[in-house]
Structure 1
Amino acid sequence: MHVASSTESLDHLYRSHHGWLFGWLRKKTGCRDHAADLAQDTFLKLLALPEMPALREPRAYLLVTANRLLINLHQRSRVERETLQALVLLLEPDSEPSPEHIVAMRQLLRQVLLMLSEELEEKPRRAFLLARLEGLSYADIAAELQVSESSVKQYLAKALAHCHGRLYGHL
């Protein structure tokens, strides 16, 4: 397909099926905002393809793509919920960590690492891990990543903003 016909085809697909897909997603999620985001992401997946496929059943294709995105959303929500539950356990005053406390800390660390590895670019993720897990200074992190200290500060700010957004629902 030519670029123009691919663009025209996607435009036609969007105009013909966006409203229907949005309605289906709104019923599935119960949230207008999540439905709008998922509908947009579904069409962005098509836009990201090197060439627009010939679709015999466009609604079926859109449903499969949207359903995969919906599953990813539910998995992220589950991880976030479990992370918050682990945080509650961690914040309970305790003089000596109980086995449950240690397990909760490990689960939280695993979930944070998963979140960081899937959602952050490499350098912000590495800067965050070097600072928080290794306790390295900005200068040491800059040397490790071969960037300036200013870049390290930007990476850490980005990572912290991302974590805050995920914990408090801004992302």
Structure 2
Amino acid sequence: MTAPASAVAFDAFYRAEHARVNGFFRRKVGRDEAADLTQEAFMRFYGSGRFATLECPRAYLATVARNIWLNRIRQQKRRGILYPLDEEREAATPPEQERRFEGKELRRAYWRALRPLSRKTRRIFLMHRLRGMTYRDIADELGISCKAVEKRIERALARCRKVAARHT
């Protein structure tokens, strides 16, 4: 007996997106919990039954993953865990003033990195990052495809990653 077409398509989608979602969780919660949260994101997405009907399943999966991460933070706050122990980072915390300075310096570097991008690309990136709009909402508001939104955000993120790599 063969699997339904939607299951086969989801399996291909899973293989294509697993590393990206797992990388997101590794950056947010660390290596130990990333695999479980990645699995949970795909399970929730598949369980929603929306895979076959979505125009931008990648964006929907990103939203599912982000919501799982935010729920995890809320649960930790309720339990009184404000900052989970990260054994990989045993260095002493730099003084508050130095952290604020480094943060301002990094923000300036991000703005310098985004400045050469087109006005439309910057606007799309800021709509997503600052206003928290989904790819679909941005596409609807600007009258462009979801894929165009995704490509422009990827372009802006690539520039931001280069800046972040220089500052670490």
**TM exceeds 0.5?**
no
TM-score by length of 1: 0.42
TM-score by length of 2: 0.43
- Larger Rg belongs to: 1
**Greater percentage in helix:** 1
